[in-house]
Each structure stands twice: as C-alpha cells, then as structure tokens.
C-alpha cells in the first residue's frame, strides 16, 4: 500500500554517443527544486530504454560518459529531504545491451528482429530492438533490480513497456512447442507472450519482496486488474497532447480508482511537454492544471513527467511551471487529500484483455455521462456491484453467467438497470440472459441508416421527427409486461450499392411497429447503439434521450445543475462529514494535428444542487478562501448559486 501527494516522473533515455552525461548535474540543486514544488515522490531512471545504466552497476552497462554514481547521489539526497525515490527499468527495450546480446532479442512472427512501430523502414523509434521476456534478459533484469534493492537507497521500482508482444525466438519457440502452441497462430503466440510477461512480473515481485517487503512497485503496460495484487499503487500514463488525446483520462480515472481501492494511490501522470522524448516542450499551466484537477476530482494524485537533459541542465522554467501548477492544487489539499468519490451509479463494461474498458461504447458512455453531470464509477466484474443503485450496460456487454447472476441479485434488492442494443445477451448472442428482461431478441436490425421516432414521456425536449442513431441496433419485440415507448422508423431502402445505384441518400419512410425503447419495471432497454452513435457523430439528441432514461430510473441524483454547459465537468467527493463539488470549465480543442488547451473559461451565475440525504448543511463556501455562499434547502437538495467560476472551483458543503 502506498499513498502519495505530489509526484514527478523524469525520463532519462540517453543515447550512448552523448559525451557529457551528468557533467552539470548538481544533485542538491535538483532535489531542492523538487522539494520546493511540494513533491514527496520522484521516479528516475536506473537503466533507460537505450540500455544505459546511471549507477555503478556490476551487471549492466553504465553510460560511458557518466562520471559518478547518479542513483546513489540522488537517493541519498532525496532521503535527506523526505522524498521517496522509485527507479525506472525498461522491461522490453534496452537498445545498447541488445547490441551486445543478440540472443536476447525478440523475433516477430514474420521473422523480424528490427521493429518499425509506425512507419515501415523507419528505425528512429526506440522500439527498433526489443527483448524477449523468456531470454536470459529476464534474469539479467532481476539481477540489476536486486543490485539496487540490496545496496542502494531506493524505495521502489517502475518497470515500463510490459506489453504482450508476440515472439518466436528460440526461447519462446521451445516452450511453446512443449505446451502444444501452434507457432503460426499469432493470436496464440501473443497469448503466450502475455503469460510470459506476467510470469516475469511475478518473478520480479517475488525477488524484490524478499529483499524489500515494503518496496513501491508498479508494472506499466500490464492490465491493472491482473497485477494489482503485486503493486503498491497504480500509475495512469496519459499525455493528452500526444497519442492519448483527451478521451483517455476520463475513462481511466473512473475505472482505476475502483481497481486501486481506498488504500492505494492512483498517480495521474501527464507531461510538461507535448510528447514523450520532447526536450523543448512546455505546456501551459492551464493545460496541465486541467489534467491534474480532473484527476484530483476523481481520486488521483498529480504526477508531472519530464525529460531531463542528459548534461544535467535544470531548465528552471520547467520548475517554475510545476511550482505554479502544484501551488494552485496545493491550496485545496485541506479538502482534497483523502477525499473519495462514492457514486451510486456504475457503468459496467468488460475489460476484454485490455488495460481498462477501452472500447468506443465505453469511452463514449463515459463522455455522455460526464456531459450529463452524472456521478458514476466505471467497473468490471473485478469489484462488487452491491453498493450501486443503477447499473448501465452500453451497447455490447454480454451477460456471462457471473454478470447475469449479479444483475439478477441487483434487481431483486430493488436496483435499476439501463442497457442498450446487444447488452444483456448471453455470450453466444442468441437470447437475453435474464427472463425478466423487457425485450425478446430477434437478431440484428436490418435497417441502415437507423432511425427512431421520439414519442411519449421520454421524448421531452426531443424534436418530433425521425432521428438518426448513427450506428446499428437490435431487432426485438417487447416482452410480456413491458411498455414500448418508442419505435424504429423504416428507411425507404438500405444505404449501399444495389448493383445499379449507389443508394447514398436514404430518407426515413414510416414509423414501424418494431420497438426501439422499452421498459419493464426498473429495467430500461434501448435497442439502438446510442453510445456508439454518439461516438460517431455526437448528436445531442442521443445524449438527451439517455438523460431522460436516467431521470426515470434515478429521479433524485446526487448532483444536478440547470446551468452548467456540456463542456463543463462536475464531480462530487466526500471527506468525513464534508462533501465537495469540483467544477472544471476548460475546453480542449483540436489544432491541426495537435490537441491543445490554453484557456480557462469563465462561468457566471452557476446553479448547483447537491442532495443532502437528510443531513443538515451548516455552511457552503468556495475553497480555498472560504468565501461564504448563500444557500437554501429545497426538495431534499442544497441549492447554491456560484457567481463566478474561472477554470476551476471547489464548492464545500459542511
């Protein structure tokens, strides 16, 4: 178990040909800067992905131009100043070492040893040479790790790039033959690689714990649920200006806190630069604070990444920016440190072998729910569902025996369910797994494009015209006892080539008797893929439809606002007898090939309503200045008007 307040993560990937590594590195000046930012946890490279070590190793290869034991000096300085130090090893890349140990190299199913990740023939990527987890490298990595654990003032280890990459080298091939694995089956070979890297993690964990039982430990690249039993904490690597974008952190934030539980920190690792390996990038304070306030509002702790100059240049403007951003966050520590999110709604989606539930339906559901200001967790079967009042299953969640059992139990205790399209089908996709379901499955819907007609009590605010789903759906009939609220609309014909015409322009023809929206008791089922449709085209009407359904199943949500715009985010946390609402008003945007955020947005006269749950509210104020806000209690809600919010506000309800 580990709890952190503020972290920094420094890359130190340094080419062997650089002649002056550490020549200007003043360790004390560096750790003074780190300490001045309020940082209590630092990650630094023991051996980088270029294969060079930064300490006096007897096992690996110290960088040839480094003239002192950097890790020892850094560890001793950090400990004097109350900073925990975790050291970095790359578990899959070690370029310089692979020049000397060709037998450690992974071989792709196509027989390649050199890899070109994005552009064929481009070998500028650090991934050109990769190691095999079953080669002698595994013992080599363990030996270097123990060398530090036994002899150096380090507190933990960060192992990077631990993906499941298929390998058919002699080491893997021999073991796969023993296990009867077909080497021509890339899927089976990849599964064996996942087994191999997990075995290496277990081996490293066991060896480290024998020497240092309380070591900090994180395996980057492994699915969180599979390794959490070995890890002291979780780290979310997410640089929105690079390949992650601004959709990744929301999914990870709502999910990782459920995996970590209350006793382990989840670090929110963004970057001061615009891409990894970028020495000359310095993001705006607004861009960094959006990442970190979003994380803090969802139980994550800040961790800014940077790439340290190999010579040791301090780049003081970087520390100025970190102090600015961390100083802003630290004003709220009194309330935020130790605060937890405790929502009553769970968005349920299987992980399917990935780090987290990352498919488009899940990511789109996270976005739609946050735009609606719904308070929710993103969960798999890894955690219990007992505490939730409402379970949401977006678009394509099959009900395994375990899922069906949990949902049946949930409904029997009075819980509610919202499901769409193929969610609720048995794993074979033939029928709905629960007899109490409000629909009977008849197969995929045959219409393309897919329209529905808003009607009845769930159509409030929707235009009275056929609306597009922008995705597909399921053909159903209403089950006995279910109410049909809306129906599909038939197009004149399906879009596509018919052998003579393109049939691109396809208008709706007429409302059918085929159900689109049905309800039975506390279960609402929508037959269209509304979450994938929102992912494809972001029609506000699909989000409005979702909102109407949620209002029916959860008429008294924990939080609501009549004035917050869709781009604003609001999150409820509690700490003891105090509850808090975080409001974020920023708007990331696409600029050419890049994502950018450089402005705080000002909101005026914002209406906030927090359900009191029968408790007396003594005062409401804005942190950190404790500016009192007038409030009144109406219909079980504490109603507040916040005159002005610029970028971020924390409203405290005592």
* pLDDT tens sequence across 327-340: 999 999 999 999 99
Backbone φ and ψ of 570, nearest 5°: -135, 130
The average confidence (pLDDT) of the chain is 96
Question: Could you give the CA distance from residue 465 to residue 496 in angstroms, rounded to a whole number?
Answer: 24
Count of Cβ atoms closer than 10 Å to residue 537 Cβ: 12
What average pLDDT does the segment 171-187 reach? 96
Q: Check the CA dihedral 458-461-462-464 and report its sign.
A: positive
126 confidence band (pLDDT: 50, 70, 90):
confident
pLDDT band at 433 (very low <50, low <70, confident <90, very high): very high
Does residue 453 share a domain with residue 422? yes
The answer to whether residue 206 is domain-embedded is yes
Taking the mean position of all CA atoms in its chain, how far away is CA 40? 23
Pair (359, 292) in one structural domain: no
- CA nearest to 419, candidates 432, 431, 429, 402: 432
Q: Could you tell me if 109 and 173 are in contact, meaning their C-beta atoms sit under 8 angstroms apart?
A: no
- Do the beta carbons of residue 329 and residue 35 sit within 8 Å? no
CATH label of the domain that carries residue 574: 2.60.40.1180
CA gap 572, 586 in Å, rounded: 18
> What global pTM score does this model have?
0.96
Tell me the C-alpha to C-alpha distance, in Å, between residue 401 and each of 86, 357, 414, 524.
42, 19, 20, 21
Q: Are 233 and 378 part of one and the same domain?
A: no
Instruction: Out of 195-209, 581-595, 638-652, pick the least confident.
Output: 581-595
Calpha distance 225→249 (Å, rounded): 17
1 in any annotated domain: no
Quote the domain boundaries for residue 567: 559-653
For 226-283, the pLDDT digits (tens) are 999 999 999 999 999 998 999 999 999 999 999 999 889 999 999 999 998 899 999 9
What is the chain's length? 654
Strands 467-468 and 451-453 turn out to be antiparallel
Q: Among residues 553, 576, 599, which one ends one of the domains?
A: 553
pLDDT of res. 353 = 79
Contacts of 482 (CB under 8 A, 6+ apart): 438, 439, 518, 519, 520
Confirm if 335 and 531 have CB atoms less than 8 A apart: no
Helices (H), 167-239: 170-178, 186-211, 224-227
CA dist., res. 394 & res. 365, Å (int)? 7
Residue at a domain's end among 288, 304, 330: 330
**Residue 117: predicted pLDDT:** 59
Q: Which of 553, 579, 596 is the last residue of a domain?
A: 553
336 lies in a domain? no
Residues 260 and 375 in one domain: no
In this structure, the answer to whether residues 435 and 298 fall within a common structural domain is no
- Percent of the chain scoring above 90 in pLDDT: 94
Rg (CA), the chain: 27
Report how far residue 525's alpha carbon sits from residue 437's, in angstroms, rounded to the nearest whole number.
8
489 and 436, same domain (yes or no): yes
Distance in angstroms (rounded) separating the CA atoms of residues 432 and 425: 4
User: Model confidence at 34, in pLDDT bands (50, 70, 90)?
Assistant: very high
Q: Assess whether 445 and 431 both reside in one domain.
A: yes
Q: What is the tens place of the pLDDT at every residue in 435-484?
A: 999 999 999 999 999 999 999 999 999 999 999 999 999 999 999 999 99
For 60-84, give the DSSP string.
S-B-TT--S-HHHHHHHHHHHTT-E
> How many Å apart are CA 249 and CA 238, to the nearest integer?
6
Which pLDDT value is given to residue 222? 96
Q: How far is CA 630 from the centre of its chain?
A: 36
Q: Is the pLDDT of residue 321 over 80?
A: yes
3-state secondary structure of 129: strand
| Whether 484 and 598 share a structural domain | no
Do 488 and 619 share a domain, yes or no? no
Q: What is the DSSP letter of 273?
A: S
490-514 residue pLDDT tens? 999 999 999 999 999 999 999 999 9
Are 160 and 300 in the same domain?
yes
- Residue 118 scores a pLDDT above 60: no
For the domain that residue 397 is a member of, what is the CATH number? 3.40.50.880
Indicate if 446 and 565 belong to the same structural domain: no
Does residue 612 fall inside a structural domain? Answer: yes
Does any domain span residue 74?
yes
**Whole-angstrom distance, CA of residue 526 vs CA of residue 361:** 14
Whether 189 contacts 181, CB under 8 Å: yes
Query: Phi-psi region for residue 429, left (φ > 0), alpha (ψ -120 to 50) or beta?
Result: left
Number of Cβ atoms within 10 Å of the Cβ of 602: 10
Assess whether pLDDT exceeds 70 at residue 120: no
Residue 187 lies in a domain: yes
- Calculate ∠ Cα 333-336-337, nearest 5°: 70
Q: Could you list the beta-strand ranges (E) of 91-195.
A: 156-160
Is 340 part of any domain?
A: no
Co-location of 258 and 302 in the same domain:
yes
What is the CATH classification number for the domain harbouring 279?
Answer: 3.20.20.80
| DSSP 8-state secondary structure symbol assigned to residue 598 | -
Kindly report, residue by residue over 338-386, the tens digit of the pLDDT: 999 999 999 999 998 787 888 999 999 999 999 999 999 999 999 999 9
**What contacts 322, CB < 8 A, 6 or more positions away?**
8, 37, 272, 304
**6, 47 in Cβ contact below 8 A?**
no
Asked whether residue 98 is domain-assigned, the answer is yes
Domain count, the chain: 3
The pLDDT score that the predictor gives to residue 119 is 66
In sequence order, what are the residues at sequence separation of 6 or more whose Cβ sits closer than 8 angstroms to the Cβ of residue 475?
441, 442, 443, 444, 445, 446, 514, 527
Taking Cα atoms as reference points, which of 568, 570, 572 lies closest to residue 612?
572
In sequence order, what are the residues at sequence separation of 6 or more whose Cβ sits closer than 8 angstroms to the Cβ of residue 69?
55, 56
């Amino acid at each position: 178990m580990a709890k952190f307040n503020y972290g920094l993560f420094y890359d130190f990937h340094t080419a062997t040909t650089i002649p002056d590594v550490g020549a200007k590195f003043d360790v004390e000046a560096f750790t003074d800067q780190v300490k001045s930012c309020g940082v209590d946890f630092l990650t630094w490279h023991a051996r980088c992905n270029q294969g060079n070590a930064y300490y006096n190793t007897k096992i690996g290869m110290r960088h040839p131009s480094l003239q002192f034991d950097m890790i020892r000096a850094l560890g001793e300085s950090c400990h004097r100043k109350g900073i925990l130090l975790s050291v970095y090893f790359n578990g899959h890349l070690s370029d310089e070492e692979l020049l000397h140990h060709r037998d450690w190299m992974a071989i792709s199913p196509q027989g390649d040893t050199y890899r070109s990740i994005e552009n064929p023939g481009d070998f500028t990527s650090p991934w050109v040479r990769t190691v095999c987890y079953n080669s002698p490298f595994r013992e080599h990595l363990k030996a270097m790790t123990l060398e530090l654990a036994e002899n150096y003032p380090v507190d933990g280890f960060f192992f990077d790039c631990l993906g499941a990459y298929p390998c058919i080298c002699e080491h893997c091939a021999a073991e796969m033959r023993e296990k009867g694995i077909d080497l021509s089956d890339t899927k089976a070979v990849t599964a064996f690689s996942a087994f191999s890297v997990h075995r290496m993690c277990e081996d490293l964990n066991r060896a480290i714990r024998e020497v240092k039982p309380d070591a900090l430990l994180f395996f980057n690249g492994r699915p969180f649920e599979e390794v959490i039993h070995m890890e002291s904490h979780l780290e979310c690597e997410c640089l929105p200006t690079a390949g992650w974008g601004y959709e990744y952190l929301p999914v990870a934030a709502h999910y990782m806190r459920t995996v970590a539980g209350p006793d382990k920190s989840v670090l929110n690792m963004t970057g001061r630069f615009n891409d990894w390996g970028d020495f000359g990038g310095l993001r705006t304070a607004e861009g960094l604070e959006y990442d970190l306030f979003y994380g803090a509002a969802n139980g994550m702790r800040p961790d800014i990444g940077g790439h340290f100059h190999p010579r040791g240049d301090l780049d003081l403007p970087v520390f100025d920016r970190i102090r600015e951003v961390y100083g802003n966050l630290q004003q709220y520590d009194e309330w935020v440190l130790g605060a937890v999110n405790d929502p009553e709604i769970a968005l349920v989606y299987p992980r399917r072998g990935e780090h987290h539930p990352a498919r488009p339906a899940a990511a789109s559901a996270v976005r739609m729910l946050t735009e609606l200001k719904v308070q929710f967790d993103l969960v798999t079967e890894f955690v219990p569902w007992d505490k939730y009042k409402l379970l949401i299953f977006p678009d394509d969640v099959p009900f395994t025996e375990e899922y069906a059992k949990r949902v049946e139990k949930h409904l029997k205790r009075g819980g509610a369910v919202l499901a769409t399209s193929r969610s609720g089908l048995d794993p074979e996709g033939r029928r709905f797994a629960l007899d109490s379901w409000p629909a009977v499955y008849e197969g995929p819907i045959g219409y393309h494009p897919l329209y529905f007609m808003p009607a009845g009590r769930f159509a409030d605010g929707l235009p009275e015209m056929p609306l597009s789903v922008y995705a597909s759906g399921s053909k159903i009939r209403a089950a006995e006892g279910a109410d049909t609220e809306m129906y599909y609309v038939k197009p004149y014909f399906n879009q596509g080539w018919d052998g003579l015409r393109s049939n691109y322009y396809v208008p709706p023809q007429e409302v059918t008797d085929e159900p689109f929206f049905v309800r039975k008791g506390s279960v609402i089922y929508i037959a269209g893929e509304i979450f994938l449709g929102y992912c494809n085209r972001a029609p506000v009407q699909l989000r409005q439809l979702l909102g109407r359904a949620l209002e029916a199943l959860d008429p008294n949500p924990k939080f609501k606002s009549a004035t917050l715009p869709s781009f604003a985010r609001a999150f409820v946390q509690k700490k003891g007898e105090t509850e808090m609402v975080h409001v974020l008003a920023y708007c990331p945007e696409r600029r050419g090939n890049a994502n950018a955020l450089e402005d705080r947005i000002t909101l005026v006269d914002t209406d906030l309503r927090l359900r009191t749950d029968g408790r007396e509210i003594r005062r409401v104020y804005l942190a950190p200045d404790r500016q009192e806000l007038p409030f009144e209690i109406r219909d079980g809600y504490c109603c507040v008007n916040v005159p002005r919010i610029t970028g971020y506000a924390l409203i405290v309800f005592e």
